[in-house]
Structure 1
Amino acid sequence: MGEAETAAGNGGDFPDLRPLFADGKPAPRGTLTVNAPLADLTWFRVGGPAQLLFQPADADALADFLARRPASLPVTVIGLGSNLIVRDGGVPGVVIRLGRGFTEVAVEGTRVTAGAGVPDVKVARAAADAGVAGFSFLRGIPGAIGGALRMNGGAYGGEVKDVLVRADGVTFAGETVSYTNAGMDFTYRHCGVPEDVIFTRAVFEGRPGDPAEIAAEMAKVTESREATQPIKSRTGGSTFKNPPGLSAWKLVDAAGCRGLTIGRAQVSQLHTNFLINLGGATAAEIEGLGEEVRRRVKAHSGIELEWEIKRIGLPRGLPGAHDVAGH
């Protein structure tokens, strides 16, 4: 595609940033949307628009777009929106979301290669079908591979660091980079790669396994999630990181927060480390509920919970919220 597909969303009134890329060069390959509504791209279904949403056609298109970006133009990256709160005032600058050009999965022997836009569960299923063990934990992680890399995603006894060989990416300056497992500097729910790197692809290594046994293991993960987590609600997954040696949900429960409600946002009755949009909640209500939970846990146990959910954008009505114009 020689030109970008462009569209005007109806989510807000940010200034149009597309003229910044009218520099006489071919238009960025992908889709550019002005004032793009983001709420429907998140599991919570809340939040304001992106000033400019760019969905690149492929990694080369992403690199070209970033290389042409004015250095002052903020960049925010989102995935499938599973562990994300978009604030009500929207996101200034450009929001990048990896779509169809980043959804390939290939299995050769015990090696699995996946684009950063591939849902974690799809990688788990591809590995299982090929008789490659070690990936069942991905069945328990909502979201896509890019987010799993950035957060060292883990569940049910496994983490990304256990299987990753290499991660490829593009910097905000448009440079392609690659990191080995050791270079990712993994810790609990974190990697040390600079925030100005957008992961585009990952290479994993599993081990030979029996497809039937792997399928049974994944079924147990599914059963456990359905029994213990509000996965059919509008939620954002695990809200807080587990403090060392402790469980966040137990701390939240002990502080009396089970079922706590602010507006249309509620702490799940089923699993207290999940926040729920009961329908019609604002991002401010959901984030405010999380902060109230943190306050009560601190008062009760002396422990300060750390957010696991990523929060982006500006509160509604914040002065200057719509002033970003790339210069």
Structure 2
Amino acid sequence: MSETLALPPVRGSLKADAPLAPLVWFKAGGAAQWLFEPQDGDDLSAFLRNLDPAVPVMALGLGSNLIVRDGGVPGVVVRLGKPFAKVERLDATTLTCGGGASGILVSSTARDAGISGLEFLRSIPGTVGGFVRMNGGAYGRETRDILVEANVVLRSGEQVMLSNADLGYTYRHSTLPEGAVVVSATFRGHPGEPAAIQAEMDRIAAAREESQPLRSKTGGSTFKNPAGHKAWQLVDEAGCRGLTIGGAQVSEKHTNFLLNTGDATSADIEALGEEVRRRVKEKSGIELEWEIQRVGLAK
């Protein structure tokens, strides 16, 4: 499959038939036709500008909220590594954050700078690029509450600055175009005491540890919360706690989490999610929407 693509030269790393399972939290799924880790924004921009426009492009962060199907992902998967993982203070309340920076790094840098309001990022297992794309949120806060603007490389290779308003945010959704890659974002909080910020981060971390299966191979929250409902409660009421298909299981600790208990295929995990959706619809009449992204081809 990979040999048929003529690809532009790069300064970063470009690998054919690169396994994605080791890079995603579920530890399941197929390979990327090509995996590109750019050296910087200009490397990414030039590559996309010169890449055949028919070739699909997908950005990959920490792979925490993602099912990569067993047949793999056609086209190019872009992964932002260390060059995109820096977080710097711009002023008293503002940080500029690389698209590959983790929520833990952003929130701890904010704490050290005395910037409050970003504590919730401590609890989201992902990167800045994913937060911006998905309007990532937790504990009553969302990315749209803190985002000033995002520096984005479009599929055409053009670099653009998009404001919060440009991203059309709704619950766990933005209008960021297909194939676009977030290379950095500016987040703004408000002045706070580092000790109080740390206490709030500790509270969030403890609540997460208590309620979620953090030490398992999982994909985070599986379904969006329907208006007026909690997804986990609907799943529980439909009798799905502990339900299994192949090596995939609905978590007994938090029923909005699916687990790979060891040897699950991505097909097992996705089929389990669909069975949960079917049972919830049958029991409550409510159609659960996937929050986890599912990408690639079935085997």
If the TM-score is normalised by the length of the shorter chain, which range does it land in?
A: over 0.9
Task: Summarize deviations over 1:197-218 as a string: whole Å, max 9, x none.
Answer: 2111000111100100000000
2:55 aligns with one of 41, 48, 73:
73
Partners of 2:178 and 2:137 lie apart in 1 by 20
Structure 2 residue 45 is matched with structure 1 residue 63: yes
Distance 2:259 2:6 in 1: 39
Q: Do the aligned partners of 2:56 and 2:179 also contact (CA within 8 Å) in 1?
A: no
What amino acid does structure 2 have at the position aligned with 1:55? E
Instruction: Quote the residue 1:82 is aligned against.
Output: 64
Aligned partner of 2:238 in structure 1 is 255
CA distance, structure 2, for counterparts of residue 267 and residue 298 of structure 1: 17
1 CA distance for matches of 2:4 and 2:253?
A: 43
Check conservation: 1:17, 1:52, Cα contact below 8 A.
no
What residue is the counterpart of 1:162 in the other structure? Answer: 145
Matched residue count:
298
Deviations, residues 222-249 of structure 1 (Å, cap 9, x unaligned): 0001000001000000000000111000
Q: What does the per-residue CA deviation read over 1:51-98, in whole Å, with 9 as the maximum and x for residues that have no partner? A: 111111111100000001011111122111000111101111111111
How much does 1:290 deviate? 0.3
Deviations for 1:157-203, whole angstroms, at most 9, x for unmatched residues? 11111111111101110001111111111111111222232111000
CA distance in 1, matches of 2:7, 2:199: 52
Instruction: Say which of 186, 200, 203 aligns to 2:169.
Output: 186
The reply on whether 1:34 has 2:21 as its aligned counterpart is no
Match of 1:91 in 2: 73
Cα shift at 1:19: 3.7
Partner of 1:291: 274
Structure with greater Cα Rg: 1
For 1:165 and 1:130, how far apart are their aligned partners in 2? Answer: 18
Whichever residue aligns with residue 58 of structure 1, its letter is D
SS state at 2:225 partner = coil
Mapped contact 1:17–1:34 kept (Cα < 8 A): no
Is the contact between residue 16 and residue 52 of structure 1 (CA under 8 Å) also seen in structure 2?
A: no
Write out aligned runs for 1:199-218 (5 A): 199-218=182-201
Please tell me whether the aligned partners of residues 259 and 266 of structure 1 are also in contact (alpha carbons under 8 angstroms): yes
Q: CA deviation at 1:17?
A: 5.2
Tell me the equivalent position of 1:103: 85
TM-aligned CA distance change 1:17 to 1:146, over 3 Å: farther
Identity of aligned residues (%): 56
Q: Matches of 1:131 and 1:211 in 2, distance apart?
A: 5
Pair 1:269-2:273 in alignment: no
C-alpha contact 2:146 2:187 (8 A) present in aligned 1: yes
Tell me the distance in 1 between the aligned counterparts of 2:4 and 2:205. 43
Determine the C-alpha separation between the residues in 2 that align with 1:288 and 1:220: 35
Residue pair 1:128, 1:214 contacting (<8 A) in 2 also: yes
> Match of 1:7?
none
Could you tell me whether the CA contact under 8 Å between 1:16 and 1:51 is conserved in 2? no
Partner Cα distance (2:121, 2:250) in 1: 25
Task: Tell me the equivalent position of 2:7.
Answer: 20
Change in 2 beyond 3 A, CA 1:211/1:20:
closer
Report if the CA contact (8 A) 2:2-2:34 is conserved: no
Q: Secondary structure at the match of 1:273?
A: coil
Q: Which aligned segments of 4 or more residues in structure 1 are displaced greater than 6 angstroms? A: none
Code of the residue aligned with 1:89 in structure 2: it is G
Instruction: State the alpha-carbon separation in 2 of the partners of residues 62 and 20 from structure 1.
Output: 13
Contact 1:230 1:271 in 2 (8 A): yes
Q: Can you give the 5+ residue segments of structure 2 that lack an aligned partner in the other structure?
A: none
TM-superposed CA distance for 1:101, in Å, is 1.6
- After superposition, the C-alpha distances for 1:14-57 in whole angstroms (9 at most, x for unaligned) are 33256433xxxxx2111000100000000000001001111111
CA distance in 2, matches of 1:220, 1:73: 44
